[in-house]
Amino acid sequence: MINITVEDRSGDVQTIEIPEGINLNLMEALKAYEYEMRATCGGMALCADCHCKVLEGWDKLPEQQEQELITLDSRPDAEQFSRLCCQIKVNEDIDGLKIRLLSED
Amino acid identity of 97? L
- Which residues in the chain land under pLDDT 50? none
How is the chain split into domains, by residue range? Answer: 2-101
Instruction: State the DSSP code for 49.
Output: T
28's CB contacts (< 8 A; 6+ apart) are 43, 86, 90
- Residue 105's pLDDT is 59
* Euclidean distance between CA atoms 71 and 47, whole angstroms: 7
Query: What's the CA angle centered on 49, arms 43 and 52, to 5 degrees?
Result: 100
Percent of the chain whose pLDDT exceeds 90: 92
- pLDDT tens track for 50-73: 999 999 999 999 999 999 999 999
Instruction: State the DSSP code for 7.
Output: E
Identify any residues that bridge with 89 across adjacent strands, giving them in sequence order: 25
Determine whether domain 2-101 maps to CATH 3.10.20.30: yes
Rounded to two decimals, what is the model's pTM? 0.94
- Residue 12's pLDDT is 97
* Euclidean distance between CA atoms 73 and 17, whole angstroms: 31
Question: Closest by alpha carbon to 18, among 88, 75, 101?
Answer: 88
Amino acid identity of 46? L
